[in-house]
Structure 1
Amino acid sequence: MAKFLHIADIHLGFDRYDTPERTKDFFRALQTVLERYAIEAGVDFVAIAGDLFEHRNIKPATLNQAQVCLQALKQANIPVVAIEGNHDNRPYGTRTSWLKYLSEWDLLKLLEPNDGADAQHRLTAWDERTRSGGYIDLPCGVRVIGSNWYGATASRAIELLADAISALPPGPTHTVLMFHHGLEGQIARYAGALRYSELLPLKAAGVDYLALGHIHKNYTAEGWVFNPGSLEANNVEESRYPRGAYLVDLSAEGVNAQLQTGYFQRPIVRLELVAKGQESLDELMQLAIDQAIAAAAQHQGDTAPILELRITGQVGFDRLELDTRRLQEAIKAACNALMVLIKYDVEDVAYQTPLGDGQNRIEIEQTIFEDMLTAHRDYKNRATELARGLTDLKDRQLSGADEESLYSLVETLLDLAETADEPIHQAVVPE
């Protein structure tokens, strides 16, 4: 029986959200999954099915992270076989890449077919001297075959790979093919996904285990197609999907692949606050902070969560009055969160009184003022009275009244003299 670890979409060097701590998360995920499910589990080999790196051009620190993890496997005498994905593949016409560099330094074996060759020469055996080859027969009784990143030509590449596999000399009992592409129906908005039927030539050619990558969601098909998903969620949306690493046993009884998730993953908490239109600006902000504190309290371990707060519904004030940056900072200061992401998608409370036939300009104006005031949480109870006051204010301004008298009328309307201890709301003077 052979045992191996199948991982994909590690994305070392991930640099979105502009925080070094988040970049380290992807290193922590890889390091802990290899310690727990490769070294401690005593696997025969590790298969990386594409996208070890986030970018083709990487920083020295990212290369060092890869070397640290791969060196630990080498010291444990666990070979690593890998292919390039769309994130870390070499551009057309380029002879080398960082994966090729790691392969030349004997930290992994980069398996690459000769795609321009005929079936007899498309897959050559791994050569330790040249550090190149399209497949390798491992002592554990498994033949591992590599592939390139094919993009939109994946279906045609499968046919050519199947012919090349069929042309190989007899080998070990089990055959594993690493292929960086996804199946249709797994995620929305994915153009170029493969149909399951397009994979069948590989099964007919003798592939027992198809090790996929590319889609960051765990899925399997028909007991021989496996996609572990990304080790760490690349964005908040991905946190909805199961993902991890496959610990696989190959035996005469078949394939036994178990998804493993017990390694470092940054907790991601998604919240929604639905505004009802009755809250003041300060009350809505406090509700958001309280909800975030309660959610973060459920993650009191050493790993601070990423928190996403969606504010939806209707507000009884100008929606632009809510400073999302200020709210973000307040939530982060109030709870144990690595990052706070706010999605603010609300509508102003709208009131529209039907206009009657024959209304004159003054009556129409009064109706509009009342609608505007009724939509405001602080003024709705005095909408009729204040609407008349706004009409008076407008008439005085048009007749040339001085600013001092206009502000005096505003103070009278808002009863500021009697509510000096309350927040002062700035009135809008119609022109």
Structure 2
Amino acid sequence: MLTLTHIADTHLGHRQYGLKQREDDMVSTTRAAFQEMIEERGTDAILLPGDLFHSRDLRPKILHQVEQELERIPDEVPVLVSRGNHDENLTPRDVTWLNYLHQRGHIVFLKAELNADPETAWFNPYDPDEPGQSAGFYDIDVADLDRPIRVFGLQWRGAKTGQALQQVANGIQETNEMHGEPAWTVLLAHFGIEDEVPTLGGTVTHGELRELKDVVDYLALGHIHKRYESGGWIYNPGSPEAHNTREGRAEWEHGYYSVTLDIGGADAGSDTSEFEVEHYPTKRRPYYRIEFEVTAHESPGDLETAFQEHVKDVQADMTEYCSQDAFMARGEPRAPIIDLRFTGTLQFSRGDLRTDELAAWVEDACDALHVQVNTGIRTANVQQLISEIDEDEVFKDGQLNTAALEHRVFETVAKESIYDDSAADVADVLGNAHQMAQADEAVEDIRDAVSSARQELFPELADDVVLDIEEDPFADAETDEETSGDTARGDADAETEGVVEE
């Protein structure tokens, strides 16, 4: 028997919501999974198809932690890694941290050479004496078996994945003709499959995998953070940790696979070896959703009282949910991340709904690590605007004047916020940002335009911005794309309901 374990999307270094504890979670959850794989599953190799890191620009402390964790793994257990979109984008650097870990002997970095031949990928064999910066395939030698288990790697290719898959299928066939047929073949790759997890991007069709199936027995996928399987040969384990509130839902399974091969079947020369796959949940931090319907409450005070009673009513269920084995750390439940959602029609001014104060109360009452607020509400005024909108204003010569309509909506929304006194100006800013987005202008340019307008309209608010940075002896310059949006306890309406660029 031979056992392989398959984990993906560890995203080490991800300081989710700007919290150091979440950065630590990424490491501790991965450490616990590796420990289980070695001590309980008895793995012969660890497969990791992409997004080992959350960013290609690592702080020294993260790299140091990763090296420490990899050094805990016995030398006889290779860690086979391919590149994900977070490890490196499509304009790769000459040397990445995956190359570094490969050269240090911590991992075997597997990638396909795709540029030399547009039809066929080239795979270099791994040579432990001269490892180079990467390899194309790794042979796992098995006692009493004259053929190896062969593992190939395909790096993230984005929109070019379909073309790369054809090259890889041809390349695997050519490699096997050159180096001998393996007993069993694994491909590490980082992409999603259309229709397996609806509404998520970065996918290929089943048709594009047809020729690959002829030369691959086990397709070890990463990229989509939810577990799924297909066809008895395609497996995606789900990320060890959830990376947004959608991924934190109970129906999103997270963990790793243990793959046990029947070596006897392979030795007998059958076309495919018999193998069994079992999924194990990772020990991760729980997300718990609290929903509150605002429609029935006529004043902020009534809403606050009812809201607090509602939270108290669900606390027992939350405690039971967070006490599941998958959420336990050293025998104790982990403090949850709470997905706090307000729905319905608000009967009073939007500016009087102090979601930041309500979230702070929830964090304290529920001993939560973080409260992420999402609002799906509309105010009674906005609802009335929609029903009473003046056709003469928004229709011109029988055509919808979308700019006028947008301005009315944006102005009404602004009046329901702290920007009431400058509602028309705020509506202009929102309208401009919307036009820039429709023109596919860069996100950075849109953000800069909104930021500049905010400073011009509300210079006094800039004085309230304080950066509280914890001293870290390993720290260097760092930009965390989530810090600006996710650390605020306010209305995080913009939190992506898909996977964090999986």
Provide the residue aligned with 2:167 in structure 1: 160
Q: Which amino acid aligns with 2:293?
A: V
Provide the residue aligned with 1:304 in structure 2: 335
Matched, 1:115 2:114: yes
**CA displacement, residues 44-100 of structure 1 (integer Å, 9 cap, x when unaligned):** 00000000000011112211221122111135x311111110110266352211111
Matched, 1:272 2:303: no
**CA displacement, residues 339-382 of structure 1 (integer Å, 9 cap, x when unaligned):** 01122333344798xxxxxxxxxxxxxxxxxxxxxxxxxxxxxx
Provide the residue aligned with 2:88 in structure 1: 89
CA distance in 1, matches of 2:120, 2:127: 17
| Contact in 2 for aligned 1:277/1:349 (Cα 8 Å) | no
**Alpha carbons of 1:190 and 1:345: their partners in 2 closer, same or farther (altered >3 Å)?**
closer
Structure 1 segments of 4+ aligned residues over 4 angstroms from their partners: 118-121, 349-352
Matched, 1:100 2:99: yes
Q: Which amino acid aligns with 1:135?
A: F
Provide the residue aligned with 1:176 in structure 2: 186
Instruction: Write out aligned runs for 1:94-243 (5 A).
Output: 94-118=93-117, 122-131=122-131, 132-140=134-142, 141-168=148-175, 169-204=179-214, 206-240=215-249, 241-243=252-254
Provide the residue aligned with 2:270 in structure 1: none
Provide the residue aligned with 1:259 in structure 2: 279
**Alpha carbons of 1:128 and 1:320: their partners in 2 closer, same or farther (altered >3 Å)?**
same
**CA displacement, residues 211-254 of structure 1 (integer Å, 9 cap, x when unaligned):** 01111111111100111111111101112311211111122352
| Contact in 2 for aligned 1:5/1:38 (Cα 8 Å) | no
Offset at residue 192 of structure 1 (A): 4.8
Provide the residue aligned with 1:43 in structure 2: 43
**Alpha carbons of 1:94 and 1:162: their partners in 2 closer, same or farther (altered >3 Å)?**
same
**CA displacement, residues 242-301 of structure 1 (integer Å, 9 cap, x when unaligned):** 12111111223523111110x321110012111233353123223333333433433364
Q: Which amino acid aligns with 2:260?
A: D
Q: Which amino acid aligns with 1:3?
A: T
Provide the residue aligned with 1:287 in structure 2: 306
Question: Kindly, what percent of the aligned residue pairs are identical?
Answer: 32
CA distance in 2, matches of 1:92, 1:309: 38
| Contact in 1 for aligned 2:120/2:166 (Cα 8 Å) | no
Aligned residue pairs: how many?
Answer: 351
RCO comparison, higher one (Cα < 8 Å, 6+)? 2
**Could you say what the CA RMSD is over the residues aligned between the two structures, in angstroms?**
2.3
- Gaps of at least 5 residues in structure 2 are 143-147, 266-272, 324-331, 385-502
| Contact in 2 for aligned 1:246/1:258 (Cα 8 Å) | yes
Provide the residue aligned with 2:416 in structure 1: none
| Contact in 2 for aligned 1:74/1:107 (Cα 8 Å) | no
Offset at residue 302 of structure 1 (A): 3.4
CA distance in 1, matches of 2:172, 2:69: 31
Offset at residue 123 of structure 1 (A): 1.0
**Alpha carbons of 1:289 and 1:177: their partners in 2 closer, same or farther (altered >3 Å)?**
same
- TM norm structure 1: 0.76
**282-291 or 43-52: which moved more?**
282-291
CA distance in 2, matches of 1:74, 1:192: 34
Offset at residue 138 of structure 1 (A): 0.8
CA distance in 1, matches of 2:342, 2:120: 60
**Alpha carbons of 1:117 and 1:161: their partners in 2 closer, same or farther (altered >3 Å)?**
same
Provide the residue aligned with 2:8 in structure 1: 8
CA distance in 1, matches of 2:55, 2:199: 22
**CA displacement, residues 93-151 of structure 1 (integer Å, 9 cap, x when unaligned):** 52211111111110110012222234787112111233132011112341111112211
- Gaps of at least 5 residues in structure 1 are 353-431
| Contact in 2 for aligned 1:289/1:334 (Cα 8 Å) | no
**90-99 or 291-300: which moved more?**
291-300
| Contact in 2 for aligned 1:209/1:255 (Cα 8 Å) | no
| Contact in 1 for aligned 2:90/2:157 (Cα 8 Å) | no
**291-300 or 106-115: which moved more?**
291-300
Offset at residue 327 of structure 1 (A): 1.2
Structure 2 counterpart SS, 1:297: helix
CA distance in 1, matches of 2:85, 2:16: 18
**320-329 or 180-189: which moved more?**
180-189
| Contact in 1 for aligned 2:120/2:167 (Cα 8 Å) | no
**CA displacement, residues 140-199 of structure 1 (integer Å, 9 cap, x when unaligned):** 341111112211111111111111111122243111110111100133444451111211
Matched, 1:57 2:57: yes
**Alpha carbons of 1:65 and 1:288: their partners in 2 closer, same or farther (altered >3 Å)?**
farther
CA distance in 2, matches of 1:93, 1:302: 41
Q: Which amino acid aligns with 1:308?
A: D
Structure 2 counterpart SS, 1:179: strand
CA distance in 2, matches of 1:335, 1:42: 39
**Alpha carbons of 1:323 and 1:120: their partners in 2 closer, same or farther (altered >3 Å)?**
closer
User: Radius of gyration: which is bigger?
Assistant: 1
| Contact in 2 for aligned 1:39/1:73 (Cα 8 Å) | no
CA distance in 2, matches of 1:133, 1:315: 59
Structure 1 counterpart SS, 2:248: helix
CA distance in 2, matches of 1:280, 1:237: 31
Offset at residue 21 of structure 1 (A): 0.6
